[in-house]
Amino acid sequence: MRLSQLPLTTFKEVPAEAEIVSHQLMLRAGLVRRLASGLFTWLPLGLRVLRRVERIVREEMDRAGAFEVSMPVVQPAELWRETGRWDVYGDLLLRIRDRHDRSFCFAPTAEEVVTDLARRELRSYRQLPVTFYQVQTKFRDEIRPRFGIMRAREFVMKDAYSFHLDQASLAETYATMAMTYHRIFTRLGLRFRAVDADGGEIGGSRSQEFHVLADSGEDRIAWCEGDDFAANVELAPALPPTGTRAAPAASLARVATPGARSISEVASLLGVPASTCVKTLVVETDDGGLCALVVRGDHEVNPLKAARVPGIAQPLKLASAERVASELGLPVGFIGPGGLDIRVVADHAAVALVDFICGANESDMHLSGVNWGRDLPEPEAADLRDVVSGDPSPGGGGSLTVARGIEVGHIFQLGNKYSRSMNACVLDQEGREQPMVMGCYGIGITRIVAAAIEQNHDDAGIIWPEPMSPADVTLLVLNPKKVPEVTAAAERLYEELQQAGWSVLFDDRDARPGVKFADADLIGIPHRLVFGERGLRNGKLEYRHRATGEELELELGEVVAALGSRMLPAEV
Ligand code: ATP
Ligand code: MG
């Protein structure tokens, strides 16, 4: 690809609308442009990256024995009514009407459509198991599209669906898909983790997410090096502390904490660590009442776990400050578990505390030296909190590490939720009709591009993992107008490299060397070759590796061979 022919506009300045590095760099390097909220146009360099990701995904899905299909992006409402999801999917679903006033939606996913396909095409257990996949545009009317293509409204997903006679067969394909995903993300050159996940509204039992590790990730994941435990923090159980609680040492006291509402304000005012305080949240119960949840000051309530406590409203709903004030007469910010008329559920770590600090249920006051059993009743204990780094692993192999991740893939065992509601059956060995057992497997193709940049960049720009770079090599020719022999020699090398199978981004623009160097760093091709007048006189050119900054002088005649020995193999 010749930069002299590509209308490429790059920016030095960080675009104001972009909050995270990948979004900034994708705009600055001319990979994508925003059309409207959550809608993006992919420019030539960006599209090359996307195509390389798609290719690796297709190769691995084909290798796993899945069959590629292409289903419509516009889906009839009737199918969604069959599963009941027309009403429950909510505002993420973009609904449209045709000229006959019939209802459709723009595909956010394709369980209904593929189950319809399966009930028409599959008759017998002999045709099973089978996996269909597609690489297709999806639309989700996200409440907050943000971070560029990371959370867009229109994006490209690889979605796959498997059909089985029984659970054992599903488990086998699910394991194959997990392995396939490991191969895909390894081949893409990304650092990632597979973790157990919540199935969410899609239903079903087992599910795992694949996360690219990056500090900007919206998810938090926990794993233990010493055992196989790995889960989204949403799900990871926090083990109760072992051993018995120490005896109270301090006596109960009232302390003035004027204006100190948050745990950090209270802790710094009193000069104590947050872990000696508790915070109390009032939430709604499923019969419309109220319940207090108590966690240690340095811990966070986990909404999924809390909502799973019997009697608590699902999804978790915080009681409004007005309701807490009017029904309980309590000032938000100074609530504590003592003397409340409502049910109190405390996290195991909060139950283990002695001599702790909590709100006094009176404005600008806290209590110190508080002890369960002595100053207030023993609470109901439950696992209510997010795990933190250093917590013991539920696998027993050591302690947990918690880090941020970007969800790039998700695999589910769906069971027969969709096949039952849509009556998608096959005949089994005895000739009886059986609803098929299903699995589904998604990969965020466009999101992978942003995730790769989040994980691989420096102050100068993107550092592409080789397998997804828009080109293998970038060749810069300095002052091409000045010395025609330099240009001619660079042209010959450009041809030679392409013939040897490398894709080359050839910067033959009539631009200043400083501009070319800056753009090369910004665009982030792994290998850079620079052709200048001085080098040509000595029959040499300069090589630089984008990731390590390593520089070499190469003989003109051995460039192709030298590059070959530095490249990563295409296959793992
Ligand atoms: P998230 O939790 O990030 O909203 P999800 O769990 O709703 O995603 P899935 O239904 O599991 O998403 O979709 C499969 C994959 O599609 C996700 O793992 C993710 O990589 C990608 N994806 C989902 N929503 C978006 C989006 N708005 N923009 C880009 N990619 C997305
Ligand atoms: Mg998901």
Phi, psi values for residue 25, rounded to 5°: -70, -35
pLDDT in tens, 272-293: 999 999 999 999 999 999 999 9
Best probe residue, ligand 1, of 22, 447, 448, 454 (max atoms within 8 Å of C-beta): 447
Bridge partners of 425?
435
Ligand 1 neighbourhood includes 140 CB (under 6 angstroms): yes
Ligand 1 neighbourhood includes 157 CB (under 6 angstroms): yes
Q: Parallel, antiparallel, or unpaired for β 433-435 and 437-444?
A: unpaired
Q: Whose CA is nearest to atom 11 of ligand 1?
A: 410
Ligand 1 neighbourhood includes 204 CB (under 6 angstroms): no
Q: Whose CA is nearest to atom 14 of ligand 1?
A: 442
C-beta of residue 38 within 8 angstroms of C-beta of residue 137: no
Bridge partners of 221?
232, 403
Task: Say how far apart CA 224 and CA 9 lie, in whole Å.
Answer: 45
Bridge partners of 458?
461
Q: Whose CA is nearest to atom 16 of ligand 1?
A: 444
pLDDT in tens, 364-418: 999 999 999 999 999 999 999 999 999 999 999 999 999 999 999 999 999 999 9
pLDDT in tens, 487-506: 888 999 999 999 999 999 99
Rounded (10°) CA dihedral 12, 13, 17, 18 = 60
Instruction: Indicate the residue type of 99.
Output: R
CA 399 from centroid of its chain's CA atoms: 23
**Which two three-digit tokens encode residue 271?**
């000069």
Q: What is the number of residues in the chain?
A: 572
Phi, psi values for residue 538, rounded to 5°: -95, 5
Radius of gyration of the chain (CA): 29
Helices (H) and strands (E) in the chain, counts: 16, 30
Using left for φ > 0, alpha for ψ between -120 and 50, and beta otherwise, residue 22 falls in: alpha
Residue 345 CA to ligand 2 centre (angstroms): 30
CA nearest to 38, candidates 25, 16, 23, 52: 23
Ligand 1 neighbourhood includes 293 CB (under 6 angstroms): no
Secondary structure class of 399 (helix, strand, coil): strand
Task: Say how far apart CA 89 and CA 86 lie, in whole Å.
Answer: 6
Closest ligand 1 atom to residue 109 Cα is: 10
Q: Taking the CA of residue 104 as centre, how many other CA atoms within 13 Å lie in the half-sphere pointing to its CB? A: 16
- The pLDDT value recorded for residue 556 is 87
**Which two three-digit tokens encode residue 541?**
């050119």
- The pLDDT value recorded for residue 561 is 87
C-beta of residue 261 within 8 angstroms of C-beta of residue 280: no
Q: Whose CA is nearest to atom 2 of ligand 1?
A: 407
How many other CB atoms are found less than 10 A from the CB of residue 553? 10
**Which two three-digit tokens encode residue 174?**
């699910």
Secondary structure class of 13 (helix, strand, coil): coil
Closest ligand 1 atom to residue 152 Cα is: 28
Bridge partners of 36?
39
Phi, psi values for residue 443, rounded to 5°: -135, 130
Task: Say how far apart CA 345 and CA 330 lie, in whole Å.
Answer: 18
pLDDT, averaged across the chain: 94
**Which two three-digit tokens encode residue 255?**
């302390």
Ligand 1 neighbourhood includes 445 CB (under 6 angstroms): no
Residue 315 CA to ligand 2 centre (angstroms): 18
Which ligand sits closest to the CA of 109?
1
CA nearest to 160, candidates 76, 50, 61: 61
Ligand 1 neighbourhood includes 155 CB (under 6 angstroms): yes
CB atoms within 5 A of ion ligand 2 belong to 410
Ligand 1 neighbourhood includes 489 CB (under 6 angstroms): no
* pLDDT surpassing 90 at residue 64: yes
* pLDDT surpassing 50 at residue 249: yes
Residue 209 CA to ligand 2 centre (angstroms): 7
% of the chain beyond a pLDDT of 70: 98
Ligand 1 neighbourhood includes 470 CB (under 6 angstroms): no
**In the predicted model, what is the mean pLDDT of residues 122-141?**
98
pLDDT category, 572, cuts 50, 70, 90? very low
Task: Say how far apart CA 117 and CA 163 lie, in whole Å.
Answer: 11
Instruction: Indicate the residue type of 466.
Output: E
Q: Parallel, antiparallel, or unpaired for β 154-164 and 437-444?
A: antiparallel
pLDDT category, 567, cuts 50, 70, 90? low
Secondary structure class of 45 (helix, strand, coil): helix
C-beta of residue 184 within 8 angstroms of C-beta of residue 168: no
- The pLDDT value recorded for residue 348 is 97
**In the predicted model, what is the mean pLDDT of residues 52-70?**
98
**Which two three-digit tokens encode residue 553?**
């002088």
Listed in sequence order, the DSSP H helices in 38-166 are: 44-63, 77-83, 85-88, 111-121
Secondary structure class of 136 (helix, strand, coil): strand
Highest-confidence segment of 122-131, 194-203, 205-214: 122-131
Ligand 1 neighbourhood includes 408 CB (under 6 angstroms): yes
Residue 139 CA to ligand 1 centre (angstroms): 11
- The pLDDT value recorded for residue 333 is 85
Residue 362 CA to ligand 1 centre (angstroms): 44
pLDDT in tens, 436-486: 999 999 999 999 999 999 999 999 999 999 999 999 999 999 988 888 888
Task: Say how far apart CA 164 and CA 171 lie, in whole Å.
Answer: 10
C-beta of residue 31 within 8 angstroms of C-beta of residue 43: yes
Lowest mean pLDDT among 114-128, 142-156, 443-457, 527-541: 527-541
Ligand 1 neighbourhood includes 409 CB (under 6 angstroms): yes
Ligand 1 neighbourhood includes 444 CB (under 6 angstroms): yes
pLDDT category, 571, cuts 50, 70, 90? very low
Closest ligand 1 atom to residue 157 Cα is: 16
Which ligand sits closest to the CA of 446?
1
Residue 493 CA to ligand 2 centre (angstroms): 46
- The pLDDT value recorded for residue 199 is 59
Q: Whose CA is nearest to atom 13 of ligand 1?
A: 442
Q: Whose CA is nearest to atom 18 of ligand 1?
A: 409
**Which two three-digit tokens encode residue 379?**
């609470």
Q: Provide CB contacts within 8 A for 519, sequence distance 6+.
A: 3, 8, 10, 507
**Burial class of 142 by CB neighbour count within 10 A (0 to 12, 13 to 18, 19+):** middle
CA nearest to 408, candidates 233, 185, 229: 185
